Structure 1
Amino acid sequence: MKILIVEDEPDLRDTISASLLKEKFLVEVAADFHSAMDKINDYDYDCILLDIMLPGGTGLDLLRELKRLHRNDSVLIISAIDSLDDKVTGLELGADDYLTKPFHLAELNARIKSVIRRKQTQGELSVILGNVILYPDRREVSVNNTPLTLNRKEFDLLYYFVVNPNRVINKMSLAESVWGDNIDQADSLDFIYSQVKNLRKKLKQVGATIEVTAVYGFGYKLTEI
């Protein structure tokens, strides 16, 4: 799952990033309004952590842009401004939650998982498709109630497929979901091919009732068999 941290305070930004990386999130950062908009225009995120006071604009301005673009990214506002008006405005503009600084990292991690769960899995602790169950919080998968061992990239790809069933997904979108900002640092499309190939093989071996099929010249699609 991919997180964007929009925070202009370097120490806090680095601390949050390190904490989320330990939780196995893919993390990207932006220090001001304009760099945040550049990233939002280029990528989709499972959750955006958004400070209100930013160089070049405000978090509320960014929320307005997200609303104008009809984006569905989960948004958690993190702000030192404990203002009722800002909270109400942020929530009305589409933010999913509001956390006042200072906060404990454990609470932040719990809030992130909660807003992602509410948005993508209708509040459930698991995602079910066919006889496959994913537990995003624990990064675990089972097929017919039997655990399926996947590496980190395979899990990220399967999760992306399962929350986008029956949708043709191009290879670049898959690569971005796995690498984000670091997409140019690897032969990502070749790696995606090999990881999808391994994932398809593992699902077939355990009798999963879902399969990833190739869409010639474009990408892949996950369907129930």
Structure 2
Amino acid sequence: MKILIVEDEPELLKSIKTYLSQNNFLCDIADNIREARDRILDSEYDCVILDITFPVGSGFEILRKIKEIKKNCGVLIISAKDSLDDKLLGLELGADDYMTKPFHLPELAARLHAINRRRNFEGNDLLIVDKLVVNVQDKYVKTDTGNIELTRKEFDLLLYFISNKNKVVTKQSIIDYLWGDQADMTDNYDLIYVHIKNLRKKLIDKGCPDYISAVYGMGYRFSVKTQVPGI
């Protein structure tokens, strides 16, 4: 899951990023409103962790910008203010959840997973996508012929395709999603080709159709006819 952390307390920002990175989140950071706005405009995120109190500006500005440009990302507000008015305003502006500081980092991660499931997978940990059974929480994929052993990047890539099923996604959006702040180090698309080639082969070897097709000059499309949520 790709996350943007918007927080101006250096130690808290470091703690959140370190913990989430160790638990398989891909994290970008911003310690001021201007940088947060730029990142929101330039990149795609599954969720934004958003403080609302800054020396200059307010986190509510970021919420309004997300709503204005219709970004499809979750928002989890973190704030030292336990104010009902702030909570109500945040939810009214489109936030998905609100946590009051201090909080436990495992709970923060659990709430991020819950937001992602609600927004992208109708709240389900288990997805049935044509011939695929995908467990979002436990990170495994199988078909009726057995488990499909995927690397972490291949699993993340598959989830990205599923959450954008039947849509064209660009090569650059895939790079940004999989590598985040390290995307600038990826100066060609060779890694994308390798990951997609390996993912396609593993799916086909387990009896799946060739879901992934190249769209000339644009990117790739993951095409499926059915998606039935699991229970």
TM surpasses 0.5: yes
Cα deviation, residue 72, structure 1: 1.9
Does the CA contact (< 8 Å) of 1:33 and 1:55 recur in 2?
no
Say if 2:168 is the partner of 1:168.
Answer: yes
Q: Which residue of 1 aligns with 2:147?
A: 147
- Does 2:76 correspond to 1:57? no
- Work out whether residues 53 and 59 of structure 2, in 8 Å CA contact, stay in contact via their aligned partners in 1: yes
Question: SS in structure 1 opposite 2:211?
Answer: strand
Q: How many residues matched?
A: 225
**What's the counterpart of residue 20 of structure 2?**
20
Structure 1 stretch 127-136 or stretch 58-67: which is displaced more?
A: 127-136
Code of the aligned partner of 2:139: R
Q: Distance in 2 between matches of 1:172 and 1:27?
A: 17
- Tell me the secondary structure at the aligned position of residue 207 of structure 2: coil
The alignment partner of 2:45 has SS state of coil
Q: Give the deviation of 1:126 after TM superposition.
A: 2.1
**Quick one: structure 1 residues 121 and 52, their matched pair in 2 at CA, closer, same or farther if it must change by over 3 Å?**
same
Considering Cα pairs closer than 8 Å and 6+ residues apart, tell me whether 1 or 2 has the greater RCO.
2
- Which residue in the other structure is 2:202 paired with? 202
* Cα distance, 1:67 vs structure 2: 1.0
1:108-147 equivalent positions in 2, closer than 5 A: 108-144=108-144, 146-147=146-147
Q: Return the letter of the residue paired with 1:189.
A: Y
How many angstroms does 1:140 deviate by?
A: 1.7
Q: Distance in 1 between matches of 2:80 and 2:145?
A: 45
CA distance in 1, matches of 2:107, 2:48: 16
Going from structure 1 to structure 2, the CA distance change for 1:223 and 1:80 (only over 3 Å counts) comes to same
Could you tell me which residue of structure 2 aligns to residue 182 of structure 1?
182
Whole-angstrom distance in 1 between the partners of 2:208 and 2:95: 36
Please give the alpha-carbon distance, in whole angstroms, between the structure 2 residues aligned to 1:34 and 1:83. 25
Moved more, 72-81 or 122-131: 122-131
1:81 aligns with 2:81: yes
Q: After alignment, is 190-199 or 130-139 more displaced?
A: 130-139
Q: Which residue of 1 aligns with 2:92?
A: 92
What corresponds to 1:47 in structure 2?
47
Report SS of the residue matched to 2:223.
strand
What amino acid sits opposite 1:178 in the alignment? Answer: L
Shift of 1:188: 4.7
Compute the displacement of 1:187 (Å): 3.9
Paired with 1:153 and 1:213, the residues of 2 have a C-alpha distance of 18
Per the TM alignment, residue 190 of structure 1 is displaced from its structure 2 partner at its CA by: 1.1
Does the CA-based 8 Å contact 1:209-1:224 persist in structure 2? no
Q: What is the CA RMSD across the aligned residues, in angstroms?
A: 1.4
Q: Work out whether residues 161 and 222 of structure 1, in 8 Å CA contact, stay in contact via their aligned partners in 2.
A: yes
Deviates more, 1:215-224 or 1:32-41: 215-224
Looking at structure 2, the residues matched to 38 and 73 of structure 1 have their Cα atoms a distance apart, in angstroms, of 15
Counterpart-to-counterpart distance in 1, 2:224 and 2:118: 24
